Chains A and B, each alone.
Chain A
Amino acid sequence: MRNRIVSLMVALAAMIAFSSFTSAQANQQTGAAKADTKALPFDVHDLTGIWDTAAYLQPKGEVNPLALNHQPTPLPPFTPFGEAKYNANVKFIDAGAVLDCDPFGTARNFFTPRPFEIISSRDRLLQHFEYYDNWREIWTDGRKMPEDLEPDYMGYSTGKWEGNTFVIDSANYNGKQFLTWTGLPLSESMHQTERWQRVDRDTLKIVFTFDDAKMYAKPWAITYFYKLKSNWVLDAHPCVLSEIKEYDEKLNHADNLPGRDYKPGK
């Protein structure tokens, strides 16, 4: 009888595999039982709030920026140089050395399954990414991209409204980060365009276009979605080298993994 109950539960679980996990704890965290807020009125030009990644909404057939552990995914149109760089990055990731304290850059932050907050100010939108406590400025005062900037991990971003779409141009990346956790590369040539649309009260849709002639033979795009988390606050997640070292020593080394005892060659 017990086995039958377990079998039934497993079968049911398979049927609801695309369902969310709701628990008493989750309700406790959000402060109240989930209500249907999708139909509530909202301002399409108000993007402020905390947003969490909803990777499951990405259209099928696009490059999956979270396809770790060799899950099948289309790859972007690499240049020969970009493909070689990607292969080297995958080798590096497979060695278990994906973690460091470098700022993630904008794209990798967007595709990290952790929330970010959008804060509006007079002349900027600010993005605060929970993971590693990264910040991004998106200038909204009409300025052009400065020409004499020092390249940076997070690049330089300007944004403007085109109807109900907030359009962001960003460039000036230093090319020292991965574009995604999967090791897709980016260079100093990267020009990233984002088209943000609040498609309903709870859903933010962003179309990313990556134009980096050094790494990719032509521009390519993906569509990603984020869900509004009205009752959340961001938590602290700084990157602390001493904590990483402790984690390596206590956990990775217990499983005969190297941890991060060597300097990766990016």
Chain B
Amino acid sequence: MKNKRIAFFGLLAGLLLLGVPVFAHHGGSEYDFKNPITLKGTVTEMVWSNPHCQIFLDVTDDKGKVVNWAIETFAPAVLKRAGWTHETLHAGELVTVTLAPSKKGNPVGMIRKIVLADGTELSGGHLGELPPQ
């Protein structure tokens, strides 16, 4: 678990410091990659398609209001290389997602990692090769 955390922070720091662009067709500059947030919620839908997959998540906020978040991922091909399949997520499952939120304050974000109900942790994948350790 500790190694996974280190790897995650390493990935995040690497992306930020190296300036590797995040290929969000949404527009990478619209996400706040420097201030990721973590949300726990219930999957309402997983769209497994190009150009990028989308996860929709019901999250209950501090006031008890349920907000449906739209969470962008990379393309299916990239997710597969990070260990995902089209069967990884189903509606009704409880998950914890770390994401870069929209700078506009809308309930929209770009995934960084996910922890599934059984504790399995998956990264959001990466584009191209990262430097060797």
Which of A9, A26, A232, A243 touches B6 (beta carbons < 8 Å)? A9
Which of A17, A69, A247 touches B18 (beta carbons < 8 Å)? A17
> B87-130, CB under 8 A of A: which get 1 and which 0?
00000000000000010101110000000000000110011111
Which of A23, A94, A237, A251 touches B108 (beta carbons < 8 Å)? A251
Report the bound CA distance from A16 to B84 in whole Å: 25
Q: Kindly state whether residue B64 has any CB partner on chain A within 8 Å.
A: no
Instruction: For the complex, count residues of A whose C-beta is within 8 A of B.
Output: 57
> A243 and B82 in contact (CB under 8 A), knowing A10-B9, A235-B76, A255-B108?
no
Report the bound CA distance from A199 to B49 in whole Å: 36
Cβ–Cβ contact B104 & A250, under 8 A? no
Q: Inside 8 A of B17's CB, which chain A residues have their CB?
A: 14, 17-18
5 A-B contacts (beta carbon < 8 Å): A21-B123, A26-B82, A52-B129, A250-B56, A252-B25
> A13 and B12 in contact (CB under 8 A), knowing A28-B83, A56-B18?
yes
Please give me the residue from chain A that is nearest to B123 by CB atom.
Answer: A23
In this complex, the member of A55, A70, A94 whose beta carbon has the largest number of chain B beta carbons within 10 angstroms is A55
| A247-B49, A247-B54 given; 12 more Cβ-contact pairs under 8 Å | A10-B13, A13-B10, A16-B133, A22-B7, A23-B83, A96-B30, A99-B25, A114-B77, A114-B78, A239-B51, A255-B106, A255-B108
Smallest CB–CB gap between B64 and chain A, Å?
22
Smallest CB–CB gap between A107 and chain B, Å?
16
- Chain A residues at the B interface, C-beta cutoff of 8 Å: 9-10, 12-14, 16-26, 28-29, 52-56, 66-71, 94, 96, 98-99, 113-114, 130, 181, 227, 232, 234-240, 243-244, 246-247, 250-252, 254-257
Cβ–Cβ contact A96 & B131, under 8 A? no
Cβ–Cβ contact B128 & A256, under 8 A? no
Report the bound CA distance from A20 to B12 in whole Å: 11
Q: Inside 8 A of B50's CB, which chain A residues have their CB?
A: 237-240, 243-244
Cβ–Cβ contact A251 & B54, under 8 A? yes
In this complex, the member of B12, B50, B80 whose beta carbon has the largest number of chain A beta carbons within 10 angstroms is B50
Which of A19, A235, A255, A256 touches B14 (beta carbons < 8 Å)? A19
Rank and list the top 7 A-B pairs by shortest CB-CB distance, nearest first.
A25-B83, A113-B128, A235-B77, A13-B9, A113-B127, A68-B21, A19-B133
Q: Inside 8 A of A236's CB, which chain B residues have their CB?
A: 77
Which of A20, A234, A246 touches B47 (beta carbons < 8 Å)? A246
Please give me the residue from chain B that is nearest to A52 by CB atom.
Answer: B129
Cβ–Cβ contact B122 & A53, under 8 A? no
Q: Inside 8 A of B84's CB, which chain A residues have their CB?
A: 25
Cβ–Cβ contact A13 & B13, under 8 A? yes
Cβ–Cβ contact B81 & A29, under 8 A? yes
